[in-house]
Chains A and B, each alone.
Chain A
Amino acid sequence: MPRASALCQADVFMPTVDVLELRKVFKVPVRETGLRNSLRSLFRREHRMVHAVRGVSFSLEPGEIVGFLGPNGAGKTTTLKMLSGLLYPDGGEAHVLGFRPERREAEFLRRVALIMGNRNSLQWDLPVADSLELRRAIYEVDRVDFEVRKAAYTEMLDVGELLTKPVRNLSLGERMKVEILASLVPHPQVLFLDEPTIGLDITMQKRIREFVATYAADTGASVLLTSHYMADVTALAERVIVIHHGNILFDGNLAGLSDRFTAHKTIVVAVAGELGPLAHLGRVVEQNSFKAILEVSRDEIATVAARLLADYSVTDLSIEDPPIEDVIEQAFAIGEAQEAEEAGEAHP
Chain B
Amino acid sequence: MNGIRLAIMHWKVGAMHEVQYRVNFFLQLIDSVIRLATGLIAIWLVFSHTDDLAGWSRHELLVVMGIHILLSGINRTFVEPNVFQFIYTIGEGEFDYVLARPVDSQLLVSVRNLRFWQLVDVVVGVVVIGWAVSGIVETTSLPEVLAFLVAVSCGAVILYCMWMVVAAAAFKWIRVDDTVQLLNGLFQAGRWPVTIYPGWLRLTLTFVVPLAFAITVPAESLASKLSGGMLVLTVIVTGVMLLITRVAWQRGVRNYSGASA
Seen from chain A, the residues whose Cβ lies within 8 Å of a Cβ on chain B are: 26, 28, 50, 52, 77-78, 81, 84-88, 104, 106-110, 113-114, 116, 119-121, 123, 125-126, 130, 134, 137-140
Q: What are the residues of chain A within 8 A of B31 when measuring CB–CB?
A: none
Q: Could you tell me the distance between the alpha carbons of A123 and B13 in the complex, rounded to whole angstroms? A: 10
Interface digits, B13-28 against A, CB 8 Å rule (1 contact, 0 not)?
Answer: 1000100000000000
B49 is an interface residue with CB less than 8 A from chain A: no
- Contact call A119/B93, Cβ cutoff below 8 A: yes
Of B99-107, B120-128, B144-152, B187-195, the one with at least 4 CB within 8 A of chain A: B99-107
6 contacts between A and B (CB under 8 A): A81-B96, A106-B102, A109-B100, A119-B97, A121-B100, A140-B102
- Contact call A138/B260, Cβ cutoff below 8 A: no
Known: A119-B97, A125-B17. 17 other contacts (CB 8 A): A26-B257, A77-B260, A81-B96, A85-B100, A86-B96, A86-B256, A86-B258, A87-B256, A88-B256, A104-B99, A109-B102, A116-B96, A121-B94, A130-B13, A138-B1, A138-B102, A140-B102
B208 is an interface residue with CB less than 8 A from chain A: no
B255 is an interface residue with CB less than 8 A from chain A: yes
CB < 8 Å A-B pair total: 66
- Contact call A88/B102, Cβ cutoff below 8 A: no
- Which residues of chain B in 245-261 are interfacial with respect to chain A, using CB atoms and an 8 Å cutoff? 254-258, 260-261
Of residues A52, A108, A119, A123, which shows the largest number of chain B Cβ atoms within 10 Å of its Cβ? A119
Secondary structure call for the A interface: mixed
Instruction: Kindly provide the distance from the CB of B84 to the nearest chain A CB, expressed in whole angstroms.
Output: 15
Q: What are the residues of chain A within 8 A of B258 when measuring CB–CB?
A: 81, 86-87
CB-based nearest B residue for A110: B102
Contact of B261 among A52, A88, A116 (CB under 8 A): A52
Q: What are the residues of chain B within 8 A of A123 when measuring CB–CB?
A: 13
Q: Could you tell me the distance between the alpha carbons of A123 and B6 in the complex, rounded to whole angstroms? A: 15
Q: What are the residues of chain B within 8 A of A85 when measuring CB–CB?
A: 99-100
- Contact call B99/A106, Cβ cutoff below 8 A: no
- Contact call A107/B102, Cβ cutoff below 8 A: yes
Q: Could you tell me the distance between the alpha carbons of A3 and B108 in the complex, rounded to whole angstroms? A: 45
- Contact call A114/B102, Cβ cutoff below 8 A: no
Q: Could you tell me the distance between the alpha carbons of A138 and B7 in the complex, rounded to whole angstroms? A: 11
Q: Could you tell me the distance between the alpha carbons of A344 and B3 in the complex, rounded to whole angstroms? A: 56
- Contact call A26/B100, Cβ cutoff below 8 A: no
Q: Can you list the 5 inter-chain pairs with the closest CB atoms, starting with the nearest?
A: A109-B102, A121-B97, A106-B102, A110-B102, A86-B99
Of residues B17, B93, B96, B258, which shows the largest number of chain A Cβ atoms within 10 Å of its Cβ? B96
Q: What are the residues of chain B within 8 A of A110 when measuring CB–CB?
A: 102
Q: What are the residues of chain A within 8 A of B108 when measuring CB–CB?
A: 138
Contact of B94 among A77, A107, A119 (CB under 8 A): A119
CB-based nearest A residue for B260: A77
Q: What are the residues of chain A within 8 A of B13 when measuring CB–CB?
A: 123, 126, 130, 134
B9 is an interface residue with CB less than 8 A from chain A: yes
- Contact call B100/A137, Cβ cutoff below 8 A: no
CB-based nearest A residue for B104: A106
Q: Could you tell me the distance between the alpha carbons of A85 and B10 in the complex, rounded to whole angstroms? A: 24
Of residues B1, B108, B257, which shows the largest number of chain A Cβ atoms within 10 Å of its Cβ? B257
Q: Could you tell me the distance between the alpha carbons of A84 and B96 in the complex, rounded to whole angstroms? A: 10
CB-based nearest A residue for B20: A125
Contact of B257 among A87, A109, A138 (CB under 8 A): A87
- Contact call B96/A139, Cβ cutoff below 8 A: no
Q: What are the residues of chain A within 8 A of B6 when measuring CB–CB?
A: 137-138
Instruction: Kindly provide the distance from the CB of A208 to the nearest chain B CB, expressed in whole angstroms.
Output: 19
Contact of A88 among B17, B94, B255 (CB under 8 A): B255
Q: What are the residues of chain B within 8 A of A139 when measuring CB–CB?
A: 101-102
CB-based nearest B residue for A135: B101
- Contact call A109/B101, Cβ cutoff below 8 A: yes
- Which residues of chain B in 2-51 are interfacial with respect to chain A, using CB atoms and an 8 Å cutoff? 5-6, 9-10, 13, 17
Q: Could you tell me the distance between the alpha carbons of A108 and B236 in the complex, rounded to whole angstroms? A: 35
- Contact call A78/B261, Cβ cutoff below 8 A: yes
CB-based nearest A residue for B10: A134
Q: Could you tell me the distance between the alpha carbons of A52 and B257 in the complex, rounded to whole angstroms? A: 11
Instruction: Kindly provide the distance from the CB of A110 to the nearest chain B CB, expressed in whole angstroms.
Output: 4
Interface digits, B193-207 against A, CB 8 Å rule (1 contact, 0 not)?
Answer: 000000000000000
Q: What are the residues of chain B within 8 A of A78 when measuring CB–CB?
A: 261
Q: Could you tell me the distance between the alpha carbons of A50 and B108 in the complex, rounded to whole angstroms? A: 31
Instruction: Kindly provide the distance from the CB of A284 to the nearest chain B CB, expressed in whole angstroms.
Output: 45
Interface digits, B74-105 against A, CB 8 Å rule (1 contact, 0 not)?
Answer: 00000000000000000001101101111100
Q: What are the residues of chain B within 8 A of A108 when measuring CB–CB?
A: 102
Q: What are the residues of chain A within 8 A of B102 when measuring CB–CB?
A: 106-110, 138-140
